[in-house]
Structure 1
Amino acid sequence: MERLSFGLLDLKLAEGAGQDTASMTFSGYGAVFGNMDAYGDVIAKGAFTKTIAEFKTSGVWPAMLLQHGGWGIGADDYTPVGVWTEIREDGHGLYVEGTLADTPRGLEIYTLMKMKPRPAINGMSIGYIAKEWVARSKPEEPRRTLTAIELVEVSLVTFPANGKARVTGVKSDGDCPTIREAELALREAGFSRKQAKLILADGFKGLPLRDAEEGDVDELAAMVRRNIDALRA
C-alpha cells in the first residue's frame, strides 16, 4: 500500500448539532488532481471513480486513521478515529466528509484541529493501491500519473507531503457552544457527568425532580453561560 499526502482540511461545526459526534464533523480534500506530491506522483481526474463505486455498493468504506496507523505495532495504531460519511470526486479532487469518534483520541484530534492561532494538525493523506498509471516519458513529467486507484484509508496527518495544502478555516457559531463546551460548563457548575448529559439531552427537565429543585433554572442557565465564556477565554 502506498501513501499520498495532502492537507486541504476544512473543519465545520455541524449546524444544529445535538450530539457530541455531530459537533466533531469536518470536511476537506484527501487528494488534489493534477498536483504533484513530494514523491513525484500526480493523480488524474477519474482515478477514484471505480473504487468509490465499489465501496458504496459493498458498504465497506475506507478507514479513517491517524498518521496512517503509525508504526502499526499495537491495536490502537490501526483503530479508526472516526468514520467517513461522504467521499466523492469533484473538479478539484477527492472530497471527503467525516465525523470523529466521541473517544479520548477523537476528542484530542478535534481539539488539536481547532487550536488558535493555528491548528496543531491540519494535514490529510490517503493510503491506496495504485492500479493503473502512466510512467514519465520526459524528465520534466511526473514520475507517475495515477489513473486508477484503490482507496484503502484516509488519514489525518501532521506532516503532509504537499506542504502548500493547509487548513482553510474552522467554522463555528460563537453564540452556540459545542456540546463538549456545554458539558464542561455544566461539570464546572457542579453537575455530575450523568446529570450534564441528561441536561444536554432533555434540558433541565431531564433531571430528577430533587435535582432540579436545588436552584432556580434561570440562575443555573446563567451560571452555565458564565462557565462557557470562562472556558472559551
Structure 2
Amino acid sequence: MKIKSLPVAFKAGPDDGLAEGEFIVYPSTFTRTPDAYGDVVAKGAFAEGIAHRRDAGIHLPGLFGHRMDDPDYFVAAAIEEDEDDHGWRVKGAFDMDAPKGAQTYRLVKSGRVRELSFAYDTLEEAQVTLDDGTKANELRKLDVFEFSFVPIGANRDTSVVAVKSATVALLDGLKAGRVLAQKHIDSLRSAQEAIGAVIAAAEADTDQEKAGGSAGAKDEGAAGVKSEGVAVSPSRRLLAINQFIQSL
C-alpha cells in the first residue's frame, strides 16, 4: 500500500451547515500539478471503488494516523462519496460515542488537525505529458482502503506548507505594524529551537541512510502502510516538525 497526504479545508459540524460530528473533505484532488512523488490523479480514478462500496453497502473507514491495528483509532466513516471536477469528495461522520472520535472532531474543528491522507493500491497508471510539457505519472484507477486525519502528512512537502503558512502569518503581522503578544514571542523562541531539532534530525537521518545504503527505499510504518521514501510511523524528523507546528 501507498499513502498520499495534503492540507485540506475541512467543513465540520453545525457552523458549516452540517450535523454535529459530520464533515466534508476532499482526500484527493484532480490538480494537474505533480505532487512530491511526480504523480497526478486522473478524474475517474476513484469512481469504480466508490460505485463498488455504494452497491455493497460498505462505508469507508476514517482513521486517525493510519492506525489500522487498533479499533479505537477508527474515528469516523464515510456517509457519501463522489467525484466532482475538484476531486474525490467524502461526506462523513465522526463516531461521537467513541472517545477518540469525539476528540478528533474537536481537533479538526479547532484547526489543530489540518491534513488528510489516504491509503491505496494503484490498479492502473501511465506516464503522461501535461499541458506545460511536464512529465508525470498519472494514477488512473486506485483501490482505496481508508482515509486518515493526520497532524502531519507523510508527504514532507505538505508539512513544510503548513509550517510556512503559520510563520508567514506572523511575519505579515509584523510588517503591518502589529505588536506581537508575549505568547507569540515565546512561540517563536520555541519554533527556533524546533527548527534546530528538525535540521539536526534531518542530518542524522541522512547520515544513517548513507551509512546503511537505504536511500530511496520504501519504509513501512507501524500499521503496515508504506509510503515512497517516507515512513508513516513518526521519525525524529516528523516529531521535530510536529513540535514546531504545535508551538505556533
TM-score (norm 1): 0.59
**Aligned counterparts of 1:10 and 1:82: Cα–Cα separation in 2:** 14
Q: CA deviation at 1:76?
A: 4.2
Q: CA deviation at 1:137?
A: 7.2
1:110 aligns with 2:105: yes
Contact 1:31 1:94 in 2 (8 A): yes
Contact 1:5 1:37 in 2 (8 A): no
Alignment equivalent of 1:93, drawn from 87, 91, 95: 87
Give the corresponding residue for 1:49.
Answer: 47
Q: CA deviation at 1:114?
A: 2.3
> Structure 1 regions of 5+ residues with no counterpart?
166-233
Contact 2:74 2:101 in 1 (8 A): no
Q: CA deviation at 1:136?
A: 5.6
Give the corresponding residue for 1:13.
Answer: 13
Structure number with bigger Rg: 1
Change (3 A) 1:35 1:52: farther
Give the corresponding residue for 2:192.
Answer: none
Give the corresponding residue for 1:84.
Answer: 78
1:32 aligns with 2:29: yes
Identify the structure with the greater helix proportion: 2
RMSD value, Cα: 2.9
Change (3 A) 1:48 1:101: same
Contact 1:6 1:32 in 2 (8 A): no
Give the corresponding residue for 2:167.
Answer: none
Contact 1:128 1:152 in 2 (8 A): yes
Give the corresponding residue for 2:121.
Answer: 129
Give the corresponding residue for 1:217.
Answer: none
**Aligned counterparts of 1:137 and 1:94: Cα–Cα separation in 2:** 23
Contact 2:76 2:93 in 1 (8 A): yes
Alignment equivalent of 1:159, drawn from 152, 155, 168: 152
**Aligned counterparts of 1:126 and 1:24: Cα–Cα separation in 2:** 20
| AA at the equivalent of 1:53 | A
| AA at the equivalent of 1:3 | I
Q: CA deviation at 1:95?
A: 0.7
Change (3 A) 1:61 1:36: farther
Contact 1:6 1:29 in 2 (8 A): no
Contact 2:23 2:91 in 1 (8 A): yes
Q: Classify the secondary structure of the residue corresponding to 1:155.
A: strand
Q: Classify the secondary structure of the residue corresponding to 2:152.
A: coil
**Aligned counterparts of 1:9 and 1:156: Cα–Cα separation in 2:** 12
TM-score (norm 2): 0.55
1:23 aligns with 2:20: yes
**Aligned counterparts of 2:13 and 2:104: Cα–Cα separation in 1:** 14
**Aligned counterparts of 2:80 and 2:150: Cα–Cα separation in 1:** 19
**Aligned counterparts of 1:40 and 1:8: Cα–Cα separation in 2:** 20
Identical pairs, percent:
29
Q: CA deviation at 1:105?
A: 0.5
